[in-house]
Amino acid sequence: MLSLSHILESQLRAAMQRAFPAVEAELNPQLVPASKPEFGDFQANGALPLAKPLKQPPRQIATAIVEQLLKDPTFTDLCLEPEIAGPGFINLTLRPERLAMEVASRLADERLGVPAVQAASPVVVDFSSPNIAKEMHVGHLRSTIIGDSLARVLEFRGHPVLRLNHVGDWGTQFGMLITHLKQVAPEALETADAVDLGDLVAFYREAKKRFDDDEVFQATSREEVVKLQGGDPVSLKAWGLLCDQSRREFQKIYDRLDIRLSERGESFYNPFLAAVIDGLQQKGLLVTDAGAECVFLEGVQGKDGKPLPVIVQKSDGGFNYATTDLAAIRYRFGSGPDGDAARRVVYVTDAGQANHFAGVFQVAERAGWIPDGSRLEHVPFGLVQGEDGKKLKTRSGDTVRLRDLLDEAVERAEADLRSRLAQEERSESEEFIHHVAGTVGLAAVKYADLSQNRITNYQFSFDRMLALQGNTAPYLLYAVVRIAGIARKGGDLDASTTQLQFTEPQEWALVRELLKFDAVIAEVEEELLPNRLCAYLFELSQVFNRFYDQVPVLKAEPEALPSRLALCRLTADTLKLGLGLLGITTLERM
């Protein structure tokens, strides 16, 4: 009902201006959705703050506003007569015929009433970001699916979105890995896939231990980094083979989760690092401290009470993550051949990096690298925990591999499905079972994560996420399946009707819930909180199920049948579109 709320807000503002022209600068309708159905559809609270400047009781002010509203025929065409409640709240109820018109317009609109943005601007969403020579683990789950869902919403709104995978493909870890492999598995540096990724991960751990314990190995590794950064052909070939092997393994996970990404690793920004130092120097921001080049943050102090530094060039002349991130910000906001011309840049990483990004963002702002009107945002998320409230790990204490977690979700979904089919004495093909189990298992993992407020930690539970009841993917998928069942039983969901008529309270409750979709999408676009969309879809499923259980559809009277089928169709379309924006595929049968 976003468009109707905009119309209503304009009508309220005009009525307030007519009633109180002397305080025009202080007029604000303060229009919000009603907190309870009995209060109508919207509530205007703008009379209360006017009590002091007008020296009048709020109810008297509200009465004057309502008198002006009732003189406006465009308002009376839209709303029933307003009610004044409490100290001066104005409760507004939309006319039934206008609600029915809104439903009809959405049935004819493939975007379901969600307008495309008028002035689309490029957006960069930086998410997933695994490290080369390491397997993706459960820690990559949140960044990957939160980033994907936000990209989907922004794309649906009409923004051109660049989905960037900022992989860790550069730096000291390659120096130590290449040095170690030269000694224990030189074939891995000369031949593609000479060792599998699991072995490569083990080699990485060995190399890290040697780097930490052996000063000679550490020095050799640093020399290898210098060779790599200097373009040594042997080092570059080894680096390329390692990156390609990891990239192919990552892609298997992305394909499985239906994730689209453009890889642009840390190495991409290597040619731009020196320009970062020059740019900060020109702005007078650089300070040499203990041989390192730093920018001291404003308003951020350490335990000693002194400003904290962001180190952008180490005392040995090397660069670090902060330098790379600053180069990335310059490139992403930059125009021309060396830039993405973005006007909104979103980083989806764990909350532990919040201080790092706050510092880097401040440096970029002070350097003048964020264009006026542009937005640079960190989207933090909490940890995935086990049911014991501790960090999710395997029984042996290792980090859970993402591949294994997805496999187990699908296996459990299949076991649940086979058990249910046996109880119902249903016979289905193996192809059907595998398709449903794969869809439900992956949907359950995605939805369980996205339905949480991303800022907090959440406890991972296969039993909860695969349940057919509660705020779960199977519950939402089953609502879509129910509607598909109506069509299989002879209900023509595609039949058009020009005269929608609703009489039952459950019908009107479903109408009003369906019409909230556009406002929810706008909210997710602005706040970057996918759980708001999840909460809406869950509530819609609940309202639909109450409607389905309490109001006959296929057995409805002939005059009521078309309108009820129309509600079923719009519910299915809304659930499918909403779940699709979360990266979740729906089913016709399960």
DSSP code, position 384? E
Q: In whole numbers, what is the pLDDT of the chain averaged over residues?
A: 91
Q: Which of 130-144, 452-466, 490-504 has the lowest mean pLDDT?
A: 490-504
Domain residue ranges in the chain:
2-94, 172-258
Residue 392 has pLDDT above 80, yes or no: no
Per residue in 39-88, pLDDT tens? Answer: 899 999 999 989 888 889 999 999 999 999 999 999 999 999 999 999 89
Say whether pLDDT at 526 is over 80: yes
Q: Look at 96-110, 214-228, 408-422 and tell me which has the smallest mean pLDDT.
A: 214-228
Stated pTM of the model: 0.91
Q: What is the pLDDT of residue 397?
A: 62
CATH superfamily of 2-94: Arginyl tRNA synthetase N-terminal domain (3.30.1360.70)
In the chain, what percentage of residues exceed pLDDT 90? 65
Task: Please list the residues that pair with 33 across neighbouring strands.
Answer: 42
CA distance linking residue 460 with residue 20, whole number of Å:
55
pLDDT, tens only, 490-522: 878 887 676 899 999 999 999 999 999 999 999
542: Cβ–Cβ under 8 A, 6 or more apart, which residues? none
Choose between 242 and 379: higher pLDDT: 379
Quickly state the pLDDT bin for 247 (edges 50, 70, 90): confident
How large a percentage of the chain has pLDDT more than 70? 98
**Residues paired with 161 in a beta bridge:** 123
Residues found in the chain: 590
Q: Which of 85-89, 388-392, 399-403 has the lowest mean pLDDT?
A: 388-392
Evaluate the CA torsion angle 366, 367, 372, 376 in order and state its sign: negative
Q: CA–CA separation, 482 vs 213, rounded Å?
A: 61
Q: What digits encode the pLDDT tens for the residues 184-220? A: 888 878 877 777 767 777 888 888 899 999 999 998 8
pLDDT value at residue 466: 92
pLDDT of residue 543: 97
For 45, 210, 287, the CA distances from 178, given in Å and listed in that order, are 66, 12, 34
8 Å CB contact between 388 and 404: no
Reference 562, options 509, 497, 510, 502; nearest CA is 497
Is the pLDDT at 274 greater than 80? The verdict is: yes
The residues, ordered by sequence, that sit 6+ positions from 341 with a Cβ below 8 Å of its Cβ are 122, 333, 334, 335
Residue 566 has pLDDT above 70, yes or no: yes
3-state secondary structure 505-538: HHHHHHHHHHCCHHHHHHHHHHHCCHHHHHHHHH
- Cα distance between residue 353 and residue 129, in whole Å: 13
pLDDT of the residue at 127: 96
